[in-house]
Amino acid sequence: MQREPCSPEGVRPWPVAPRPFDDEAFGGWLGRLAARYQISVDQLWQIGDLGAFPALTNSGWLLFPPMDEQALCRLAMLTHIGMPRLEALQTPMAWVSDRDQLPYCFDCLVLNPVDVFSPRWKRDWLDPHTAVCQVPGHRLNSLPPCTLRICRNLTAVLRAISKRQRKG
């Protein structure tokens, strides 16, 4: 059975869609996109008419599973980002599993050298084997999944992490 080609008919692109960074996690980019419109990731999914929202791990949308081709094609049309770019961002299925903690580097998260106004969640932090930050002198922190699950978008994640940083 041949798949129906992805058709731009009836797809009205979103007015603003931040470009993903080369080292960014797919879920992090979705979280940034949702934050741009001040909505949740699942609301973004519904508005984009991307099909059934996928089952997520205990880490929520940040550890977003790979999307099917039709949904990815529609997202590409909505955001004006090419399919190859979005395919390269996807989280490998082998990484999509429940976690006790999710590592991140606070310095790398908030100090994006490509765009200082756009924090981003790095893709390699989602690799279950990540133990150190790739930037010398930076240390990894960790976040419990329960904190991530209540965050609607990347701005909410940043707020939660900032609170944790202030507490010590």
Evaluate if residue 1 carries a pLDDT over 50. no
**Cα separation values, 168 from 59, 144, 149, 161, 164, Å:** 23, 16, 22, 11, 7
- Tokens linked to 165: 């940083």
Q: What is the pLDDT of residues 127-146, one digit of tens each?
A: 999 988 888 888 899 999 99
Taking residues 100-127, report their average pLDDT. Answer: 91
Q: What is the pLDDT of residues 155-165, one digit of tens each?
A: 999 999 999 88
Q: What is the pLDDT of residues 39-79, one digit of tens each?
A: 999 999 999 999 999 999 999 999 999 999 999 999 999 99
Q: Which residue has better confidence, 36 or 117? A: 36
Distance CA 31, CA 85 (A): 17
Taking residues 78-102, report their average pLDDT. Answer: 96
For residue 139, count CB atoms less than 10 angstroms from its CB and return exposed for 0-12, middle for 13-18, buried for 19 or more: exposed
Report the predicted TM-score, pTM, of the whole model to 2 decimal places: 0.91
